[in-house]
Structure 1
Amino acid sequence: MVQDWLLAAAPDVQQARWEWSEGGLTFLRCGELLTAIRLPGDLVRTAAASSDPTEVGTYLAEVLDGPVIASRGRYYPLVLPSAGVAWQHPDAECLARGTWLGVPPVTETNCQNPLGYWAVPMRRPGELCDANAVLHLVQLAQHRLSGQEAGDGN
């Protein structure tokens, strides 16, 4: 079960279950079971060529093929902890070992939730995004942004 797998990264499983039962976020440790790459929302929306949260979620599901949390205007694809060792990109930070990630209940997929939601839900325990796919998304967005900027002066 996905919830149980995620809770293995919680410092206090009972507290985490309670926080989720109340509809809130719980904080999971990054760096052992999973980590996340923090992506600015405008970067993701540029790559997806849409500002509609449902369309962005569909796009992310197709290109990342793994779970993504959306919270406070940012997107957090979940990746293997080993991604943090080699990841270096100025526009997208990989959350290092020892940092914490606010994670909504696994059933929270409502994009209207101000705390956060699963833009792409985790389908199976241990299913994570490929960090190379995340990097490709960032590079695509940068390419699109540079094209727009170049076209602004004409």
Structure 2
Amino acid sequence: MDTQQTDRAAEWLARAQQEPGHAWHEWAETGVALLPLGRRFVAPRLAEALVHAAVGTRAPGAVSTCLEELLDGPVMQWAVPPRRAGDLCEPAAVDALVTLACTAARQAEQ
């Protein structure tokens, strides 16, 4: 990613804050900024048990590989890095994973 793309991405992320200058200040002071979800992006969180039920394993490497394939995008908790700038999971893929996880969890309970 070149400097211009990085600057555009940072500006987009900063605008997630009510006052984008606050994000810029946090980045300058600490290198990180807490950004609220819902305005620019969302980050669904699934319980570990649901993820393991959906992918059929608890092995971290296998979970990462499976999630990357199922979601066709990066998964932060499992450290599947973005493949390119702006790489995000499609909402339909996340929905399919949640459906798979819930179905697998119900079957495991029976």
Q: TM-score, normalised by structure 2?
A: 0.71
Shift of 1:17: 5.8
Task: Tell me which protein shows more strand as a share of its residues.
Answer: 1
- Sort the Cα spacing of 1:6 and 1:146 in 2 relative to 1 into closer, same or farther, 3 A: farther
Structure 1 alignment gaps of length 5 or more:
71-117
1:13 maps to which residue? 24
1:123 maps to which residue? 83
2:13 partner SS? coil
1:38-77 to 2 correspondence within 5 Å?
38-70=45-77
CA RMSD, Structure 1 to Structure 2 (Å):
2.6
Give the distance between the partners of 1:43 and 1:31, measured in 2 at CA: 23
Task: Tell me which protein shows more helix as a share of its residues.
Answer: 2
Give the distance between the partners of 1:54 and 1:7, measured in 2 at CA: 33
Deviation track 1:109-143 (CA, whole Å, cap 9, x = no partner) reads: xxxxxxxxx62212222221111111111111111
1:34 aligns to 2:38 (yes or no): no
Q: TM-score, normalised by structure 1?
A: 0.53
1:132 aligns to 2:92 (yes or no): yes
Give the distance between the partners of 1:43 and 1:17, measured in 2 at CA: 38
Larger Rg: 2
Between the two proteins, the alignment pairs up a number of residues equal to 99
Give the distance between the partners of 1:66 and 1:38, measured in 2 at CA: 15
